[in-house]
Amino acid sequence: SDRKYDPYRPSSHVFDLITRDAKILCQELDPMPEEETRKLALLQRLSDIANEVFGQAEVLPFGSSGNGLALANADMDVCVFLNSQQMAEEVSPVEFVERIGDRLEKDNEFENILQLKRARVPIVKLNHINGIACDIGYQNDLAIWNTRLLRAYCRVDTRVRDVVVVIKKWAKCRKINNPYTGSLSSYAYVLLVIHVLQRQGVLPNLQTIVSGNGKIPYWDCQGFNRYFFEDIPNLARYWQQTPEAATQTVGELLYEFFRYFASEFRYASHVVSIRSGGLLTKESKEWTKDFTQPHPQHPQPQAPADDAPQSEEQMQADTRPIVKNRYLFCIEDPFELNHNIGRPVDRYSLFTIRGEFMRAAKILSKNGDGAITRLCYERE
């Protein structure tokens, strides 16, 4: 093997203990069928309400409720699609949030309703009295497709879910799973896991596998190519794991994940890119300078009279909230190639997150017994 020499790499006995405990944790965190039932009921309820407010509407689950990577008591992400093209064009995301938010307020089965109009992707957040927390988005086709991509990766190998569940649990316990406060979304962590598993040869790049021998098709979705190989039962015709990848344990893969992001990944110059099956440089993507821009979807009170480029004064008069794009931790979205999923990470939170990668690698390299428990000690 050409694996780099790693003086901290634990023995296979340690890996076996970590694997055993990781699998126990995964079973404990598997959602019960009863929870699925409550989610389905809420989905139906939201679908009725969306139809009432907008006429013909469809409500689809995405995120962990659609990709097979949910932990017990996970939030539900849903997206409302208006079936009429005309309606969809008329109702802006911010207006959608207002209208559905105001309607939900009238029902006492919904609590803590928040209208997040200033988010990059405007959403309504709420808690249902049956105990489910829910985010409601709007016309987000790409989210449906990236959910399906993650689900496909999950189906390639059962170890994907095992690794993801431990990483999600660890990130939540260590309080580095909140994009609103500068850390990473679960979606970001799943992309990081897929990246490491691609490097290890455990996962292929589904976006470059084509049945037959044709070239990669272009399937448009909101201006991006949403093509990927989804026929997982027939994947073996086009791609096989190496024997080495096939025998790696969940414990080894977890250690490799933390080791890689603690000491190998070059934050200053590299971009994690699962759609290219490896790394890109920040330079090649022109992701070198942070920049701010007015919120693209927020209504602008003083819209310029014509299409002329805005002057300094007009820019200053723009009262829309400012969106800050940062390129400190670069994780390319698999479809929306100009979107850095690590955008919320600032200098301070990057320091914290990297510290957590190092802490985790250290814990797993010491003693397998109880390592998973120590890994997930609550911070603060």
Residues that bind ligand CTP (CB under 6 A): 62-64, 69-71, 74-75, 77, 143, 146-147, 168, 185-187, 341
Residue placing its CB nearer to ligand CTP in the complex, 57 or 76: 76
Beta-strand relationship, 330-331 and 76-82: unpaired
With beta carbons less than 8 A apart as the criterion, state whether 93 and 116 touch: no
Residue placing its CB nearer to Mg ion in the complex, 115 or 177: 177
The partner in contact with residue 187, picked from ligand CTP, Mg ion, none with C-beta cut-offs of 5 to 8 angstroms by kind, is: ligand CTP
Q: Tokens for 2?
A: 């050409």
CB of 103 to Mg ion, least distance (A): 23
Q: Tokens for 335?
A: 């479809």
Residue placing its CB nearer to Mg ion in the complex, 64 or 177: 64
CB of 246 to ligand CTP, least distance (A): 26
Residue placing its CB nearer to ligand CTP in the complex, 334 or 368: 334
CB of 15 to ligand CTP, least distance (A): 26
The partner in contact with residue 143, picked from Mg ion, ligand CTP, none with C-beta cut-offs of 5 to 8 angstroms by kind, is: ligand CTP
The partner in contact with residue 146, picked from Mg ion, ligand CTP, none with C-beta cut-offs of 5 to 8 angstroms by kind, is: ligand CTP
Site string for Mg ion, 52-71 (x = CB under 5 A): -----------xx-------
The partner in contact with residue 253, picked from Mg ion, ligand CTP, none with C-beta cut-offs of 5 to 8 angstroms by kind, is: none
Q: Which residue is nearest to Mg ion (CB)?
A: 63
Q: Which residue is nearest to ligand CTP (CB)?
A: 63
CB of 316 to ligand CTP, least distance (A): 29
User: Residue 336, interface with Mg ion (CB under 5 A)?
Assistant: no
Residue placing its CB nearer to Mg ion in the complex, 15 or 145: 145
CB of 73 to ligand CTP, least distance (A): 9
User: Residue 121, interface with Mg ion (CB under 5 A)?
Assistant: no
CB of 144 to ligand CTP, least distance (A): 7
Among 77, 252, 332, 333, which residue interacts with Mg ion (rule: CB under 5 A)? 77
The partner in contact with residue 189, picked from Mg ion, ligand CTP, none with C-beta cut-offs of 5 to 8 angstroms by kind, is: none
Q: From CA 121, how far away is CA 137, in angstroms rounded?
A: 8
CB of 70 to Mg ion, least distance (A): 8
User: Residue 75, interface with Mg ion (CB under 5 A)?
Assistant: yes
Contacts of 327 (CB under 8 A, 6+ apart): 282, 287, 288, 289, 290, 340, 342, 343
CB of 59 to Mg ion, least distance (A): 15
The partner in contact with residue 17, picked from ligand CTP, Mg ion, none with C-beta cut-offs of 5 to 8 angstroms by kind, is: none
Using CB under 5 A as the binding criterion, the count of chain residues that bind Mg ion stands at 4
Residue placing its CB nearer to Mg ion in the complex, 5 or 180: 180
Q: Tokens for 58?
A: 């469809």
Q: From CA 195, how far away is CA 193, in angstroms rounded?
A: 5
CB of 341 to ligand CTP, least distance (A): 5
Q: From CA 90, how far away is CA 80, in angstroms rounded?
A: 15
Residue placing its CB nearer to ligand CTP in the complex, 39 or 259: 39
Which residues of the shown chain bind Mg ion in the complex (CB under 5 A)? 63-64, 75, 77
